[in-house]
Amino acid sequence: MLSRTADHLFWMSRYTERAENTARMLDVNYQTSLLPQSVAVDQLGWEGMLRISELMTPYRDLHDQLNASDVMHFMVREETNPSSIVCCLKAARENARAVRGALTTEVWETINDTWLDLQRKLKGKEFERDPGKFFEWVKFRSHLSRGVAIGTMLQDEAFRFYRMATFLERADNTARLLDVKFHAVHSDFYGAASQLDQEYDIYHWIAILRSVSAFEVYRKVYRDVIAPERVAELLILRADMPRSLHASLKGVVGNLEQLANQASGETERFAGKLLSELQYGQIDEIMSFGLHTFLTQFLTRINQLGTRISQDFLLPA
């Protein structure tokens, strides 16, 4: 398979997944901003999202103040922000168009229709009228694109690159989503939340779980009150939770094995070592080590894995 084709398929998938996960992160902050809490804590949530996404500097270049409206506009509509939803869906469509012949008609039409529908929604100010509904639409279109690809594409090398990219991007974003919350609440960098805000903390965790479609799963698995450590365990270590770090790395490794070539041995070892730490890890050890530190290191390593995959299979950066 040509590395050019693999590269377009890889990034088509990553950008689609990134748009969905950006919508999920925004939805968490939007939903929690509706809860009773101090203005300072609400602002810290938006600041934390920008910092964890490494977008504080470009945001400050465009906006003097930090508020929910400007952050959501920056993360949804801003064309100079490559991680905004509009830029991600545009990039996904352009990559799909470049490899139109490697896709089924249904996959191409789904991705193209998503882009065209997005233009209509933004022009009609649907995002401004109901952000929550808009975020649900972004998630639905990502689900649809993924489902159509799984249901219609031949499961050859093209399909493996598509799926591997989805899992790689999902692992990155799940780690960022978790870190936004834990870092904001527990890090000395952000300061301590007031007692009143701590009392409402349970609702923030419910919002986190709902943002990754895990609220019902949590209730089924633990059958108890929501505790931060168990939320972390569910989203990090549970192999049967679709958006967990463990499940995502398992998907990366499985597809990487199908694509192995003579140059990818070290990349496979690197990915396998990262997966084994999640397979045999325990949440008590992670919490003792420091969840923020663990997630920061994980993000560094998952980015290194992405770089290794690019060097072994895709177009040179």
**Tokens representing residue 150 in the block:** 């799984």
Q: Is the dihedral of CA 216, 220, 224, 228 positive or negative?
A: negative
Confidence at residue 194, expressed as pLDDT on a 0 to 100 scale: 47
First to last CA, the chain: 18
How many whole angstroms from its chain centre is CA 10? 15
pTM given for the model: 0.90
Over residues 166-195, the pLDDT tens digits come to 999 999 999 988 887 665 555 433 344 444
Confidence at residue 187, expressed as pLDDT on a 0 to 100 scale: 46
For residues 95 and 97, give the distance between their C-alpha atoms in angstroms, rounded to a whole number. 5
For residues 313 and 192, give the distance between their C-alpha atoms in angstroms, rounded to a whole number. 46
For residues 304 and 299, give the distance between their C-alpha atoms in angstroms, rounded to a whole number. 9
How many CB atoms sit inside 10 A of residue 138's CB? Answer: 26
Confidence at residue 183, expressed as pLDDT on a 0 to 100 scale: 59
Half-sphere exposure of 165 (CA within 13 A, CB side): 24
Q: Say if CB 16 and CB 142 are below 8 A apart.
A: yes
For residues 188 and 293, give the distance between their C-alpha atoms in angstroms, rounded to a whole number. 13
Mean pLDDT by 10 residues, the chain (317 residues): 88 97 88 72 78 88 90 94 96 96 96 97 93 95 97 95 97 88 51 47 78 91 88 95 96 95 92 96 93 92 95 78
Over residues 141-154, the pLDDT tens digits come to 999 999 999 999 99
For residues 211 and 21, give the distance between their C-alpha atoms in angstroms, rounded to a whole number. 9
Confidence at residue 236, expressed as pLDDT on a 0 to 100 scale: 96
Confidence at residue 200, expressed as pLDDT on a 0 to 100 scale: 55
Confidence at residue 263, expressed as pLDDT on a 0 to 100 scale: 86
**Ramachandran region of residue 165, left (φ > 0), alpha (ψ -120 to 50) or beta?**
alpha
